[in-house]
Structure 1
Amino acid sequence: MQSLNNCPAPAKLNLFLHVNGRRADGYHLLQTVFQLIDHGDTLHYALRDDHVIHRVTDVAGVPEQQDLIIRAALLLQAEVLRRTGALPPGVDIAIDKRLPMGGGLGGGSSDAATTLMALNHLWQAGLTREELMALGLPLGADIPFFIFGQTAFAEGVGEAMQPVRAPDCWYVVIEPGVEVPTAKIFCSEHLTRDTPPIIITDFSSYLEKQTGLKGYGKNDLQQVATQLFPPVAEAIEWLAAYGDARMTGSGACVFCAVGSEVEADAVLRNVPAKWVAWKAKALDKHPIASLL
């Protein structure tokens, strides 16, 4: 049976994250720039001779049927059945898991997006990029970005995206060792929800005027996360000695941009042993964007 191996599911960073308001249904209105980086999980797919979708790798704390990978595969399988009247073959899915849960790096969403792109190719389902983005959105607001597959200025709940240029740089990322539940941050009474909206040219013009790597804007979720999870605050304070350190997503991981891999290595040599830290290069395109 056909297989597709070594499919990257890259992490993302939120270069800034502003909360502009809250909708009547409880969803928050956001503005952010999503940046792909060359560090993430890797997935492997092997078609079966039946119709079963099976994750062959154990993932601590994530039961198979709750995994976004499996849910995405089942959703696409059902969509193919609806369109063609025929159920596509099942698949065994293995994952080399590197990204931490509750880290703000989009690991689960990236895994699901890679799965949708890979199985759309393996099953020759023929869904367009836009159709896959719409299919994935109900599973998670970040999934459409990974299928969009390039640096993006995002608005709404994160689903309205435009391509944008961002610095071609390296990042140092620290995992503070805590898992931050997204819902806990967004439900906090201390969360600021009134940052004035910007337009995409505000971000682009700022970068054009910058001579260094100081980031644009801020992460409105950071203040809440650092109050609730002191290790996040500690990691930001330490990393700030090397650049404009900030949290990504709803946490817990923190990052700062540096100009070169040599600079990233110099920072990593000094990271306290209690933290996991790594370097990553900014990506312009998703590594498997060519499948669509």
Structure 2
Amino acid sequence: MADTSSIWLDVPAPAKLNLMLHITGRRPDGYHNLQTVFQFLDYGDTLSFRARDDGQLTLEPAVDGVPFEDNLIVRAARLLQQKAGKHAGADIRLKKILPMGGGLGGGSSDAATTLLALNTMWQLNLSLDELAAIGLTLGADVPVFVRGEAAFAEGVGEVLTPLPELEERWFVVVCPQVHVNTAKIFSHEGLTRNTDPINIRTALRQGGRNDCQQVVTMLYPEIGKALNLLNKFSHAKMTGTGACIFSSFGSETEAISVSEQLPAEYVAFTAKGVNQSPAHKVLFRPS
């Protein structure tokens, strides 16, 4: 019998881009109704899992400034432990490359990968619907990572319509070294909150804008400066509430060429947009 204590399961936690983000209204509970298009990138964090039978959870390395029990990875694991029984435990390692607060969904993706991987490792057999419902309690972006399909999202981002026909282009992503306070953006009096809803066909044909971008660039001039720079090569947009911005290109060669022309002070990477999550490709590949 194999020694399961030495077997590690490595699973990607991919970045996402909001290819558009329209805010269509503000709800009585203070949250905002929105419309957005999510697409994954073949770039992101990596989580490694090893099962334990003593009910203990470990996570390394520790994340500076984030208490262990507040980490979304640990919170996700705790929610599944409630269904797995007292003996289910795991050692978890995180290889973190996505910036925190960049609008790339790093924390939400880490939480979703944890739900998906431990559901498999602990043989819970929860459906994606059940995992997505658990994920929604952790954050509005978690369900799209759980379901693993590029999607048109409505509501607070949890009402998802898959978009398998979305073009898989190459992107240059620039990450200005500022941390955007999401709550500050969504509470700002200058934020556009009355964009007319559109349908999926219009979103795919016309693209759309990011309604947060004007307020963010006013409050964080460094992001506006990066947008102006990237706009010289191809139309640039912000993802989520920032700080990261992106432009799309038709080939890897073109994306790399643009990335190499950016000033050295900019942190940037190239990646391909993909319509199936890399986490799903690992966990649900044919045996």
Which of the five TM-score ranges fits, normalised by the shorter chain? over 0.9
- Distance in 2 (CA, whole Å) between partners of 1:140 and 1:169 is 27
From 228, 238, 243, the equivalent of 2:229 is: 238
* Deviation of 1:88 (Å): 4.3
Q: Spell out the pairing of 1:148-167 with structure 2 (5 A cutoff).
A: 148-164=147-163, 165-167=165-167
In the TM superposition, what are the counterparts of 1:137-176 in structure 2 within 5 Å?
137-164=136-163, 165-176=165-176
Q: CA deviation at 1:4?
A: 3.9
Q: Secondary structure at the match of 2:123?
A: coil
- In structure 1, stretches of 5+ residues that fail to align are 81-85, 208-215
Q: Distance in 2 between matches of 1:287 and 1:44?
A: 14
The whole-number CA distance in structure 2 between the counterparts of 1:79 and 1:89 is 9
Partner of 1:254: 245
Report the AA paired with residue 275 of structure 2: D
1:216-241 CA deviation, whole Å, 9 max, x = no partner? 11000111111111111011000001
User: Aligned equivalents of 1:103 and 1:21: distance in 2?
Assistant: 24
Q: Deviations along 1:12-61, whole A, 9 cap, x unmatched?
A: 00000000001100110000000000110000011123101121212233
Letter in 1 for 2:217: T
Question: Normalized against structure 2, the TM-score is what?
Answer: 0.94
Q: How much has 1:156 moved relative to structure 2?
A: 0.2
How far is the alpha carbon of 1:181 from its aligned partner?
A: 1.6
Relative to the length of structure 1, the TM-score reads 0.92
- Is contact 1:14–1:248 with CA below 8 Å preserved after alignment? yes
CA contact (8 A) 1:57 1:93 kept: no
Number of aligned residues = 278
Q: How does 1:126-145 map to 2 (within 5 A)?
A: 126-145=125-144
CA contact (8 A) 2:169 2:248 kept: yes
Q: Distance in 2 between matches of 1:133 and 1:114?
A: 11
Match of 1:10 among 10, 14, 24: 14
Number of the residue aligned with 1:228: 219
Q: Which moved more, 1:58-67 or 1:102-111?
A: 58-67
CA drift at 1:79: 2.8
The answer for the alignment partner of 1:181 in structure 2 is 181
Does residue 287 of the first structure (1) align with residue 252 of the second (2)?
Answer: no
**Does 278-287 or 56-65 show the bigger shift?**
56-65
RMSD: 1.2
Identity rate, percent: 52
CA distance in structure 2 between the aligned counterparts of 1:34 and 1:4, rounded to whole angstroms: 30
Q: What is the correspondence of 1:257-276 to structure 2 with a 5 Å cutoff?
A: 257-276=248-267
Contact 1:41 1:99 in 2 (8 A): yes
The one-character-per-residue Cα deviations of 1:178-210 (angstroms, maximum 9, x if unpaired) are 011211110111101000001112123x16xxx
Secondary structure in 1 matching 2:174: strand
Amino acid corresponding to residue 151 of structure 1 in structure 2 = A
Question: Where does residue 92 of structure 1 map in the other structure?
Answer: 91
